[in-house]
Structure 1
Amino acid sequence: MAQRGVLMNQPADGILGRVSDLFFRKPGLLLLILLGPPLIWIGVVYVGSLVALLVQSFYSIDEFSGRIVREFTLKTYAELLRPSNLDIVLRTVLMAASVTVVSALIAFPIAYYAARFARGWVKGLFFIAVMLPLWSSYLVRVYAWKLILANEGVLNWTVEKVGLTPLVDALLSMPVIGGPSLSFSYIGTFLVFVYLWLPFMILPIQAALERVPASMLEASGDLGARPGQTFRKVIFPLALPGIVAGSIFTFSLTLGDYIAPQIVGSSRLFIGQAVYMHQGTAGNLPMAAAFSMVPIVVMAIYLWIAKRMGAFNAL
């Protein structure tokens, strides 16, 4: 019976052996089997959806019937260039750029301390503090900030106690960024965006600074470089890939977000809100698709500029 069992197992072992030999002789076949399904998924679901979005943007909508005219035209992009729509694009890009710059300025010293000085439990506490906001719901955090920034919120109460109410009133009285309160102004939207995306800036910069050898900083000091020169010539160039990686997150996430400006901010639209309005409320899918192409084009230009500046050379 034992011999019979051995003989019955031989064909299976033989098949597995031949398959193993085949993969050994043709490693490219194994690679194709492993990478084929995810590549197909990316190609069909991700790239395919972007292509469908691009195609939709070249359609137009019949103003009389409200139906989509599936004929190639640049009419939708001509409407996108109207002053009201260009104002939405410019407003969103400026907000994304300001959030990215301020996030980088706040994140760099925090990441530098974590990379160079934090050790043991302090470093663990740093990672928990950075990641802790991401453990809660996005909507919960945005609505919490709406309460914080309201006239009856804790921020205004603190500002009143320390005597800075005239400064806040002066900021809110400014024609572009101001409003009736912090929760109904661009200032409030800006603060919420910085809070939401700051962890996505801190972690890439910290990872880049971790890879900077301490010996290079010591050598720079031994050669007579001042701290400012060491920062400009050694630290910043080596940390630049991390800054660019973090800026890609903060810039792109701000460009496409529509929930935070809808909850905290004024009635003026951002790109994400315009896409939501045209696709959901107005039923103008071609215009929504055209607005959706704007962040893709802006990010492509941004990445091209970053590459030209050598930001990806150290990756």
Structure 2
Amino acid sequence: MLIEKKIGNTPLTRCPFLSDKFRTNIYIKDESFNPGKSSKDRAAYFMLEDAIKGNKVSPGGTIVEASSGNTGISIALMARELGCRVKIFVSKTCSAEKRALLEEYGASIEICDNSFGLHVFNSTQYQAQAYAANNENAYFTNQYYNSANIKAHYRTTGPELWEQTNQRISHVMVGVGTGGSISGIGRYLKEQNSAIRIIGVEPINSVYQAYLVDGALAHSGLVHDAIEGIGRTFIPGTFDAQVVDTIYQVDEERTKQCAQDHRADTNRLIGFSSAAVLAALEQNIDELKLSSEDHLVLYFPDHGDRYLQKLYNQTEREDSETFETS
């Protein structure tokens, strides 16, 4: 695919504001510079490459995915080159901006009640799997259980962070949704230096923190805070707990406030899960015990213009043009 040449090698930039504020070296890995403006381009490319090479779908067929929006957008963007149709199952919490982009790229959208996993009938995952199973030449990429999701970040994002920090990276904070990003990044970086701290971020009442501590899924029945793109009620196959040191939980309202404060301080719009990472940093800065020699990377998966209504109370897409990319 021609788009392959444009994916990855996104900028890693030291943030003067955050570095001065916390008296250490804080860098932002800005994934909005990918063609589809999110980190999901990486996983989408690897999953589609695997599908084509494995003859799991042929031209004219349909690529199916359950997505909070970004993976679907990336798949829809790339499917054009493959001559495939795209059907994306999103939950009703998917932002209006993401739905508009999916339609702009030619995807067919189905809105489901939730994204609670393959065994919940009205979930995005169940409905996507059922559609692919019942339609000819349709393939469910299944980002929650597709090893290519982890592989994408092991082979691209991890090495980029290692090289861009001149091998000085000491911590990385990553929002945890499917678990593919943190698992691939964590595996690679731990192989280079086992002392690097791999830190996950999820919403209040999500399941990853308890799973990391207890090794079992807590059945609390509570619904996690609605921070789009991260948080789960089940543990996907693409989450590798062995390479994650800590997981912090953050509050939805505090996350929204961090997004707005960051815009006021830096004139930059950041996405929902990016704001969650920033909230986790501020909330746990004392526990992290960062020194002036540390190099902490904040992984920002996408741009704030996909959450104008949810985070910034803006309704017009062009309003974001007055702000810099994150």
TM-score under structure 2 normalisation?
0.22
Question: Greater share of strand residues, 1 or 2?
Answer: 2
Question: Greater share of helix residues, 1 or 2?
Answer: 1
Say which structure, 1 or 2, has more relative contact order (CA 8 Å, 6+ apart). Answer: 1
Q: Which has the larger radius of gyration?
A: 1
